[in-house]
Amino acid sequence: MATFPVVLDACVLYPSLTRDLLLRAAHAELYRPHWSQFIIDEVMRNLLQRSGMTPEAVAHLVSMMTHFFPEASVLVPQAQIDAMPNHPKDRHVAAAAVIAGASVIVTSNLKDFKNEDLKPWGIQAQCPDTFLTHLFDLYPLEMEKAVVACAEDRSTPVHVAEIVRRTKRKLPTFGSRLWHIFSEVAVEHEVCSE
């Protein structure tokens, strides 16, 4: 399996389905995730402000991320942050990618990571839809298992067809790939639900 390093921006770690899919793919060792304390702090802030999660639930989530990915956190020196030419508020993310040796930053905020700013470091920014689609094209069986696990491991398990539907709404290209795999199951589920 590939274990290439990838930096996950905060904006892809606070939407629960996107986070779950990304981290399950990492747990299957399809890539190696990285983040900095700056990124984790931003995730925590956003989860507390936007998700309705309690501080205890947010702390537990971050604790589980640290437990499953103990090597993910990178220490980013201020000098490296200052050296990055991308948008000032996201320089710390690009700097984390340099320190981690990552060639990809997964972010929903592509406008702050222009190609010309990242190219000198051999880094490119990808939206989560593109990144997960690439992983699916490389590792279809492993990604299929990750999607099934997303459905089964929820506090209230849902049918895999529901995960596919949600994915199609939020991550359309990746969701379309899943639809081709799970369409028979999804149609059968819709018929049974009526």
CATH code of 106's domain: 3.40.50.1010
pLDDT value of residue 99: 97
3, 156 in Cβ contact below 8 A? no
65 lies in the same domain as 138: no
Indicate the residue among 94, 126, 158 that finishes a domain: 126
Question: What is the rounded radius of gyration, in angstroms, for the C-alpha atoms of the chain?
Answer: 17
Asked whether the predicted pLDDT for residue 123 surpasses 70, the reply is yes
pLDDT value of residue 63: 96
81 lies in the same domain as 172: no
pLDDT value of residue 191: 35
Q: 114-123, 141-150, 183-192: which has the highest mean pLDDT?
A: 114-123
13 lies in the same domain as 63: yes
Indicate the residue among 105, 126, 147 that finishes a domain: 126
Indicate the residue among 111, 126, 141 that finishes a domain: 126
pLDDT value of residue 190: 45
Write out the E strands in 79-163.
104-106, 124-126
pLDDT value of residue 106: 98
Mean pLDDT over 53-82 rounds to: 95
pLDDT value of residue 193: 43
**By residue range, what is the domain housing residue 149?**
132-193
Mean pLDDT over 92-119 rounds to: 96
Asked whether the predicted pLDDT for residue 34 surpasses 80, the reply is yes
The model's pTM is: 0.91
15 lies in the same domain as 103: yes
User: Structure tokens of 60?
Assistant: 């537990």
Please, what is the average pLDDT of the chain? Answer: 90
Cα–Cα dist 149/110, whole Å: 29
Asked whether the predicted pLDDT for residue 31 surpasses 70, the reply is yes
Asked whether the predicted pLDDT for residue 43 surpasses 70, the reply is yes
64 lies in the same domain as 40: yes
48 lies in the same domain as 142: no
Structure confidence by residue, pLDDT tens digits, 128-174: 999 999 999 999 999 999 999 988 887 676 788 888 889 999 999 99
Structural domains counted in the chain: 2
pLDDT value of residue 105: 98
